[in-house]
Amino acid sequence: MEDKNKIDSAWCEWIGNNSDIWPQRACLGDALEGDVLLKFQSLW
């Protein structure tokens, strides 16, 4: 979660600053062992 401000900035650039029209989002963090990258995608 140390990159939350960077993620928030990228989110606002992509979706805009009007929170009334934002889709839902969730951020999570976990310490993983080794060189691991996880990507989650939700389709609705």
Give the whole-angstrom CA distance, residue 8 versus residue 2. 11
Note the pLDDT tens digit of each residue in 2-37. 788 887 888 888 888 888 888 777 767 777 888 877
Q: What string of H, E and C letters represents the secondary structure of 6-36?
A: HHHHHHHHHHCCCHHHCCCCCCCCCCCCCCC
Kindly tell me the sign of the dihedral angle through the C-alpha atoms of 13, 17, 18, 22.
positive
The pLDDT of residue 7:
78
Q: What ranges do the domains of the chain cover?
A: 1-44
Give the whole-angstrom CA distance, residue 17 versus residue 20. 9
The pLDDT of residue 44:
60
